[in-house]
C-alpha cells in the first residue's frame, strides 16, 4: 500500500504543474484601421469601434458565437451585394439611391456587430469578445486572454466615408498581432 501512495504522489502533485504550463500568456491585438481613397489618400478611421469575436483555437474548429457572427455578417453582405447588382443590371449604370443602399448596409452590419457584442458581454462569454475604441489616428490595442482565431470587425468614419472593415486573424499566446485594416468590406460617402 505504501508503494502505491508513493507512486501516486508525483501524479497527483504533477497535475497542477501541467495545468499551469498549459495556461498561456495573453496575446496582444494591435490594430490600425484606415481607408485608401481613389486618389490614394490615407484616411484613418478616427475614434472607430473594433470588436473581435473568438472563432476557435488554432488548428481546431468549434461552433462558437464568433462563427455565428461571421456567418451572419457574410449573409447580410451577400444580400446587400445581390440587391445592388440586380439594380445595376436593370439600370445598366449606377442605380439611383446606390449610396443610400450602401449606407444602409453599413448601418445593418454595425447593428449586427453591436448586438453580437452586447449578447457576448455576458460573463460566460466575456473572454470571447474584445472591444476597442480607436484613437484619433485610427489605432488601438487590447490584451487577448484567449489565444486563437478571431474575426475582427471595425466600423466608423474615415474622412467623409462611413466604413465597415472585416478581417480574420490568429492571436498567439505571448505574441503581438499587428493588424492593418485598409480594405473595407463596405465604404460609402456619408450624407
Q: Which domains does the chain carry?
A: 28-189 (2.60.40.1120)
Task: Evaluate if residue 84 carries a pLDDT over 80.
Answer: yes
Phi-psi region of 6 (alpha: psi -120 to 50; beta: other; left: phi over 0): alpha
> Which secondary structure element, helix H or strand E, spans residue 125, and what is its range?
none
Question: Could you tell me what percent of the chain has a pLDDT over 70?
Answer: 84
Q: Would strands 27-36 and 176-181 be described as parallel, antiparallel, or unpaired?
A: parallel
In DSSP notation, 11-68 reads HHHHHHHHHHHHSPPPEEEEEEEEEE-TTS-EEE-TT-EEEEEEEE-TT-----HHHH
Task: Evaluate if residue 17 carries a pLDDT over 50.
Answer: no
Task: Evaluate if residue 42 carries a pLDDT over 90.
Answer: yes
**Cα-based distances in Å from 45 to 48, 101, 140, 191:** 5, 21, 11, 17
Average per-residue pLDDT for the chain = 85
Question: Could you tell me what percent of the chain has a pLDDT over 90?
Answer: 61
Find, among 69, 64, 150, the residue nearest to 117 by Cα.
Answer: 69
| Cα–Cα distance, 135 to 137 (Å, whole number) | 5
pLDDT band per the 50, 70, 90 thresholds, residue 120: confident
| Cα–Cα distance, 178 to 31 (Å, whole number) | 6
Task: Evaluate if residue 80 carries a pLDDT over 70.
Answer: yes
pLDDT (average), residues 112-133 = 87
Cell numbers that stand for 23 in this block: 495556461
Task: Evaluate if residue 115 carries a pLDDT over 90.
Answer: yes
Find, among 85, 48, 76, the residue nearest to 165 by Cα.
Answer: 48
Least confident of 6-10, 65-69, 179-183: 6-10
Q: What is the largest CA-CA distance in the chain?
A: 88
pLDDT (average), residues 79-105 = 88
Alpha-carbon torsion 31, 135, 28, 60, what sign? negative
Task: Evaluate if residue 43 carries a pLDDT over 50.
Answer: yes
Amino acid at each position: 500500500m505504501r508503494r502505491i501512495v508513493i507512486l501516486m504522489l508525483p501524479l497527483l502533485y504533477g497535475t497542477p504543474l501541467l495545468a499551469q504550463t498549459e495556461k498561456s500568456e495573453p496575446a496582444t491585438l494591435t490594430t490600425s484601421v484606415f481607408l485608401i481613397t481613389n486618389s490614394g489618400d490615407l484616411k484613418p478611421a478616427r475614434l472607430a469601434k473594433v470588436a473581435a469575436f473568438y472563432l476557435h483555437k488554432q488548428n481546431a474548429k468549434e461552433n462558437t458565437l464568433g462563427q455565428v457572427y461571421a456567418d451572419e455578417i457574410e449573409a447580410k453582405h451577400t444580400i446587400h451585394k445581390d440587391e445592388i447588382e440586380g439594380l445595376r443590371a436593370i439600370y445598366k449604370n449606377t442605380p439611383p439611391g446606390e449610396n443610400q443602399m450602401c449606407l444602409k448596409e453599413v448601418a445593418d452590419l454595425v447593428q449586427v456587430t453591436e448586438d453580437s457584442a452586447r449578447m457576448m458581454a455576458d460573463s460566460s462569454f466575456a473572454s470571447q469578445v474584445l472591444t476597442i475604441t480607436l484613437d484619433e489616428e485610427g489605432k488601438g490595442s487590447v490584451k487577448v486572454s484567449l489565444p486563437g482565431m478571431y474575426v475582427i470587425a471595425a466600423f466608423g468614419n474615415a474622412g467623409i466615408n462611413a466604413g465597415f472593415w472585416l478581417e480574420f486573424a490568429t492571436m498567439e499566446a505571448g505574441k503581438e498581432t499587428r493588424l492593418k485594416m485598409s480594405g473595407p468590406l463596405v465604404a460609402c460617402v456619408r450624407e
